[in-house]
Homo-oligomer: A and B are copies of this chain.
Amino acid sequence: MNASTALLTDHYELTMVQAALRSGAAHRRSVFEVFARRLPDGRRYGVVAGTGRVLDAVEDFRFGPAELDFLADNRVVDEPTLQWLADYRFTGSITGYGEGETYFPGSPILTVEGTFAEAVVLETVLLSILNHDSAIAAAASRMTAAAGTRPLAEMGSRRTHEEAAVASARAAFIAGFSRTSNLAAGHRYAIPTMGTSAHSFTLVHDTEKDAFTVQVDALGRGTTLLVDTYDLTEAVRTAVEVAGPELGAVRIDSGDLLLLAHRVRRQLDELGAEKTRITVTSDLDEYAIAALAASPVDGYGVGTSLVTGSGHPTCSMVYKLVAREGRGAAPGDPLVPVAKRSKNKPSRGGRKWAARRLDAEGVAEAEVVGLGAEPPADFPGRRLTVPLVTDGEIVGREPLTAAQQRHAASRAELPMSATQLSSGEPVIPTETV
């Protein structure tokens, strides 16, 4: 068992349990739904990411002695609630969009069914994971679309929280990044890691040539040499002199990348290093990547803009009670749909299904969201929800590559304008039926 996730929770979840145990509502069968009322401004589609981490968090959501002592010492909840928490394990069911799936406003991204109390306490950690990871994946997806067939490496760890960095590497991989600089992401998720050297490595040596020589000696001729510490042209010359034409790659981390990539390509070719690749890594985002499409760049490394969601560091997913048992309900009675009545934050009660309607060419036409657990048997369209947890049993685990493939397929199914970088409306409408 891993570290408990039980305290990654807002205080009010537990006080609600305390009060609901008192009223009996704690035991009412309930359905919570994760959805977003809107996409971030201008974005054409969202990307679900974090689902696999959600399953881990649900499994590790247990209150052990350390957690219970803290809650007791600080009088967060009363004794009956502590006893209930001590026995807590989620015994309900969760269905949701497969990880990597695209989503739209109103998509029922996750549906959590259980008693009110067992479901409500998961709100905070589920939203933390989904709102963060989906924001990173959405930015990453725009970048992989802009990069076309050129590989992208995630290297933003130094610009975000140290654990968010690991989750960002994971989300980027789902959206099509091929590698990460983050070793913990390699360790936990088997994502291929990469990296060779920073400017400090050149600076700690007496000369750039000393630095290049020992790097090639230590890491092989296939290594990537960083060539912009002093003079770029001189560095490229030294690099090929030291490593020969088998030099794997040079990395440019500053300056006018479009211009420099052309110049360095020409120089490398003149030096006989036609196969030496050029990677660029200077404050790239999806727009910069798109602008470099015509340049002789072989790969991109992306940092800050990726891990900050390229302007949208979070999604606005919420976790809302949409149905629950009514007063005096018998087992099997239908649940009562519920919704907040608020002018500026409308939501729609009831459990929902979702399917994507496709045209004759297999291109997505609409996100269709209906009431009930399943679409009608003859409903035309691709079903979007998969079982994740069934009666407390985790059934939705899958390799990360499955999520990567799902994302690629789901994005490819959208109208082509989905991957235009310009701002716009969601690329397909959400239809409620």
Residues of A within 8 A of B (CB): 3, 5, 7-16, 18-23, 25, 28, 30, 32, 57, 66-67, 70-71, 74, 76, 78, 116, 120, 123-125, 127-129, 131-133, 155, 157-167, 181-184, 186-187, 193-201, 203-206, 210-211, 214-215, 217-219, 228-231, 254-255, 304, 307-309, 313-314, 316, 319-321, 324, 326-327, 338-345
Cβ distance A323 to chain B, nearest Cβ, rounded Å? 10
The distance in angstroms between the C-alpha atoms of A187 and B4, with both chains bound, is 13
- Are the CB atoms of A32 and B159 closer together than 8 Å? no
Contact check: which of B25, B196, B200, B230 meets A341 at CB < 8 Å? B230
The distance in angstroms between the C-alpha atoms of A214 and B26, with both chains bound, is 12
The distance in angstroms between the C-alpha atoms of A14 and B198, with both chains bound, is 11
- Are the CB atoms of B160 and A131 closer together than 8 Å? yes
The distance in angstroms between the C-alpha atoms of A76 and B204, with both chains bound, is 22
- Are the CB atoms of B195 and A10 closer together than 8 Å? yes
Chain B residues whose CB sits within 8 angstroms of the CB of A158 once the complex forms = 10, 123-124, 127-128, 131, 319
Chain B residues whose CB sits within 8 angstroms of the CB of A313 once the complex forms = 160, 308-309, 313
In addition to A70-B186, A76-B186, A131-B159, 11 A-B residue pairs with Cβ atoms within 8 Å of each other are A7-B183, A8-B162, A12-B197, A19-B217, A70-B187, A123-B200, A128-B157, A128-B162, A163-B164, A199-B320, A254-B342
- Are the CB atoms of B204 and A74 closer together than 8 Å? no
- Are the CB atoms of A19 and B219 closer together than 8 Å? yes
Cβ distance A270 to chain B, nearest Cβ, rounded Å? 24
The distance in angstroms between the C-alpha atoms of A166 and B313, with both chains bound, is 17
Contact check: which of B15, B28, B194 meets A219 at CB < 8 Å? B15
The distance in angstroms between the C-alpha atoms of A307 and B128, with both chains bound, is 11
Contact check: which of B155, B161, B214, B321 meets A128 at CB < 8 Å? B161
Which residue in chain B gives the minimum CB-CB distance to A182?
B10
Chain B residues whose CB sits within 8 angstroms of the CB of A125 once the complex forms = 162
15 contacts between A and B (CB under 8 A): A7-B186, A8-B165, A9-B183, A10-B182, A11-B183, A15-B218, A23-B218, A25-B205, A128-B160, A128-B165, A162-B163, A203-B338, A204-B321, A204-B324, A229-B341
- Are the CB atoms of A320 and B16 closer together than 8 Å? no
